């Protein structure tokens, strides 16, 4: 079911999300379905459970929306339950990020170039996988949500100052979105 997306200023986006209980399969399957439906409706490339108001460590990424910019992302889709970074490269790289919870704001963010992640997929199978390029960035961005961190926290201070008015407006609900959104 399509759920409203919580916007910048919402408390749930600032909480450290709790680990999901893998024995609650039905509940998790419903959450994953909600994330998928909501992401599809909003035409984004990733969504974390806190963004639909559920403070659990579950996220999805879907590269199809980014295919025009990064053709290698076609068909790149993952569901990650309780993801954990096992290794990250010392080398950093920059990409422009945006976020369905921070509409209309795009900033260059520096993060590790490659990561190795352990997670459980939607069949509740444990996996270890390495990511690089923009696929890595999508996973990193969503994982930050699970720790209450937004990409706007990671931009250079001068840039953050430039976007501060926009962020205040979003937190007051003064923003137009193509999808159902709320601040709470």
Catalytic residues: 142
Q: How far is CA 33 from the centre of its chain?
A: 16
CA 23 to chain centre: 24
Which residue is at the shortest CB distance from Zn ion? 99
Q: Output helix, strand, coil percentages for the chain, rounded to the nearest 5.
A: 35, 25, 40
164 phi-psi bin (left φ>0, alpha ψ -120 to 50, beta other): alpha
Q: Find the part of the chain contacting Zn ion (CB under 5 A) among 7-15, 25-33, 59-67, 99-107.
A: 99-107
Q: Closer CB to Zn ion, residue 99 or residue 143? A: 99
Would you count residue 47 as binding Zn ion (CB under 5 A)? no
Q: Which of 158, 44, 39, 151 is nearest to 96 (CA)?
A: 151
Closer Cβ to Zn ion, 32 or 102, answer by number: 102
> Pick from 81, 99, 175, 181: which binds Zn ion (CB under 5 A)?
99
What is the total count of residues that contact Zn ion (CB under 5 A)?
A: 1
Judged by CB under 5 A, the stretch of 15-23, 91-99, 118-126, 159-167 that binds Zn ion is 91-99
Residue nearer to Zn ion on the CB measure, 24 or 136: 136
Residue in the structure block whose two tokens are 């209450």: 148
Binding site for Zn ion (CB under 5 A): 99
């Amino acid at each position: 079911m399509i759920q409203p997306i919580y916007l910048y200023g919402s408390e749930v986006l600032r909480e450290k999300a709790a680990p999901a209980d893998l024995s609650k399969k039905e509940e998790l399957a419903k959450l994953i379905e909600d994330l998928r439906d909501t992401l599809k409706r909003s035409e984004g490339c990733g969504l974390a459970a806190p963004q639909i108001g559920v403070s659990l460590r579950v996220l999805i990424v879907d590269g199809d929306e980014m295919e025009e910019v990064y053709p290698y992302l076609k068909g790149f889709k993952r569901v990650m339950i309780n993801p954990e970074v096992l290794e990250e490269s010392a080398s950093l790289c920059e990409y422009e990020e945006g976020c369905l919870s921070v509409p209309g704001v795009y900033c260059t963010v520096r993060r590790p170039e490659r990561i190795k992640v352990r997670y459980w997929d939607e069949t509740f199978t444990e996996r270890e996988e390495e990511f690089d390029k923009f696929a890595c960035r999508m996973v990193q961005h969503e994982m930050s949500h699970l720790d209450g961190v937004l990409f706007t926290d990671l931009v250079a201070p001068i840039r953050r100052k430039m976007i501060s008015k926009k962020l205040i407006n979003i937190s007051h609900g003064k923003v137009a979105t193509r999808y159902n959104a709320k601040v709470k």
